[in-house]
A and B are shown apart, each in its own frame.
Chain A
């Protein structure tokens, strides 16, 4: 735009435009400088190009790779030139895909945008209203959307996202205020680490529930089978059978010693596999199908062992004595 207002000839302008584009394709932010003696913004004397290099942090490519392994799609939205954005996307390892600009987003209908956002990973020359529209479109197709941002203009998108992540150091007060999470180190890798921690905690809660829930199942099965067996035996024989009652201290002992310490220790489990799993359905219950299957199968198996002991031991004990 500045070149068009300069006093350069058409040929010179084309040359400088090509240069600017090639620098942008290398990942530089390119700023053109021009001046004029008196007031006005036409007929400017072109001074040259300034290149700004804002390299991504070294840990970002690895963090993006881990996020992709975890089924998380990372999308870059920037106000930069599309060529700069695509170059940076290449450096950080975003999958090559269609790059869209804010102007493209404006032209597309809602249905077309829904298709486009599935394909594009880079959005360049984007204004705040485009960000908001992108977030709403992605939420509309059932995605769980997290948005990072630091500026005041990011606030609407941060607020509208499922998880708004603001920058603690460089972020504006407004963005920090509306965000759900504030990154104290402004590091993208921290988001991925937080996702891993969250998934690990969720899995440990599931383990804890499984461990504590299968015992009542086992006890109930054991008690029911034994009571039924005693009743059957009493009906069939003249000598009535009775269940050996557990001492109340023994029951408390099992609760405190066999349940408590292992259940607490399960909270310390590290789960390296959680970042190789796709994201869970947000509507999935904590006690899901596989957990219920575990509780019932394990409970019944343990009860079978108890019933077997109850059946075998009285006769064997007599013989052993």
Chain B
């Protein structure tokens, strides 16, 4: 059962960590495809322990509800940590520089008469 729960934890925690991976410069717009991918993955994870043939294929076994609860708590803790610690890996923000001394600027020469 330990193997089954660790497998479920690994998969589900991996799925939920797709959300904190997105935070780089600012909060991105909602991504329906990502929600669907995560829900699809989570749904398949449930099937791995409920469908006997899948269970057998993956070398898993049926789990106790208390064990499943412990695993879910572990996943939710991970999700909560990922959502709360917004500063992990968020690039520092700054205003645009005018002198271009440290961070080179992009310059566009716009020729009058062109666009």
Contact = CB atoms under 8 A, between A and B. Distances in A.
A278 B96 contact: yes
A276 B94 CA distance: 9
B109 A270 contact: no
B73 to A, nearest CB: 10
Interface in A53-111: 54, 57, 60, 67-80, 85, 88
Interface in B10-45: 10-15, 17-18, 20-22, 24-29, 31, 33-34, 36-38, 40-41, 44-45
Contacts of A257: 11, 41, 44-45
A148 to B, nearest CB: 6
Given A279-B105, A301-B81, A313-B67, A244 B2 contact: yes
Contact of A278 (B24, B34, B103): B103
B13 to A, nearest CB: 5
Contact of B115 (A151, A167, A261): A167
Nearest to A161: B109
Most A Cβ at <10 Å: residue of B1, B85, B115? B115
Given A167-B114, A249-B58, A272 B26 contact: yes
A259 B93 contact: no
Nearest to A118: B99
Nearest to A215: B14
A215 B78 CA distance: 13
B contact residues, range = 35 or more
Interface residues of A, number: 110
Interface in B66-115: 66-67, 70-71, 74-75, 77-78, 81-82, 85, 88-101, 103-115
B22 A266 contact: yes
A134 B110 CA distance: 13
A135 interface: yes
A134 B24 CA distance: 35
A143 B10 contact: no
A207 interface: yes
Given A71-B97, A253-B58, A293-B88, A148 B111 contact: yes
Interface stretch (A1-9, A33-41, A230-238, A304-312): A304-312
Given A54-B113, A281-B104, 19 more contacts: A67-B108, A76-B110, A118-B98, A142-B101, A146-B109, A147-B108, A188-B115, A203-B25, A250-B58, A250-B60, A254-B14, A257-B41, A264-B33, A266-B31, A279-B104, A281-B103, A292-B89, A294-B21, A309-B5
8 contacts: A148-B108, A207-B22, A244-B2, A246-B6, A258-B45, A264-B37, A272-B26, A309-B6
